[in-house]
Amino acid sequence: MTTTPSLTVEAEPYPFEFSPSACALLMIDMQRDFLEPGGFGEMLGNDVLQLRRTIEPNRKLLKAWRSMGCQVIHTREGHRPDLADLPPAKKVRGRGKSCIGDNGPMGRILVRGEAGHDIIPEVYPLPGEPVIDKPGKGAFFATDLHAILQNRGIQQLIVTGVTTEVCVNTTVREANDRGYNCLIPSDCVGSYFPAFHEMGLQMIKAQGGIFGWVSHSEKILAALG
């Protein structure tokens, strides 16, 4: 791809400037088990509608981003079927009746290859779009994401997906420490807990954008033209 000129998106704490050819759309964990009724998230008592409101804005942004030929990368949280990469501390955390690796409503919970682990159809990866399988909350931990971004000349990220305060926030912080500038469209990220969503965004844009910038998908679409 040839280098594209810089675009400006209205954002907080100040406008975000990016070059589409050096910017990737990083879609975090839009997985059936987190977003779909009848999945693991709902089984835990969470209101999946809090996450499902992100589907349509993500779908629209993804469509526009793809139509410009820009880079899209997806992530999925999950573990090897033999659970060899699952820290015992993560397995037992929460003292729930069911835990990672057990049979859940959509197959084994957060296990790669199971139905619930897969990405929802509305934003399903196209052939050629890297899918990063991550064992942790952050997308850089124990993955090849940084190498892929470096090899493709990516310096900026538009980070979307779920959940705002867990995997999105962790990934944005990891990205920030590795030198990436991150823009988070508030309508394209979601949490089961509205207060955590709000604070998760506040924490990113506080102190002059200590971890990144916050905007809205409509503003990104407007900048793309």
| Residues 164-203 as x/- pattern, contact with ligand C5J by CB under 6 A | --xx------------------------------------
**Nearest approach, Cβ of 154 to ligand C5J (angstroms)?**
21
Q: Give strand pairing partners of 7.
A: 18
DSSP states of 106-152: TEETTBTTSGGGSBPGGGPPPTTS-EEEESSSSSSTTSSHHHHHHHT
Distances (CA, A) of 214 to 28, 96, 187, 211, 219: 16, 34, 10, 10, 11
**Smallest distance, ligand C5J to C-beta of residue 29, A:** 4
Note whether 29 binds ligand C5J by CB under 6 A: yes
9-24 residues labelled b (16+ CB within 10 A) or e (exposed): bebbeeebebebbbbb
**What's the rounded Cα separation, in Å, for the pair 97 and 101?**
12
Active-site residues: which are they?
A: 29, 134, 167
Q: Least Å distance between CB 77 and ligand C5J? A: 5
Tell the burial category of 75 from Cβ atoms under 10 Å away from its Cβ (0-12, 13-18, 19+).
buried
**Residue 71: what are its φ and ψ, rounded to 5°?**
-75, 135
Number of residues lying near ligand C5J (CB under 6 A): 6
CB of 34 to ligand C5J, least distance (A): 6
Binding of residue 162 to ligand C5J (CB under 6 A):
yes
Site for ligand C5J, residues 65 to 94, rule: CB under 6 A:
77
163 binds ligand C5J, rule: CB under 6 A: yes
The one segment of 83-91, 115-123, 125-133, 162-170 that binds ligand C5J by CB under 6 A: 162-170
Using CB under 6 A, which of the segments 9-17, 56-64, 146-154, 158-166 binds ligand C5J? 158-166
199: three-class secondary structure by DSSP: helix
The four Cα atoms 158, 160, 163, 168 give a dihedral, to 10 degrees, of: -20
Q: Is 50 in the site for ligand C5J (CB under 6 A)?
A: no
In the complex, what is the shortest distance from the CB of residue 19 to ligand C5J, in angstroms, rounded to a whole number? 28
Binding residues for ligand C5J, per CB under 6 A?
Answer: 29, 77, 162-163, 166-167
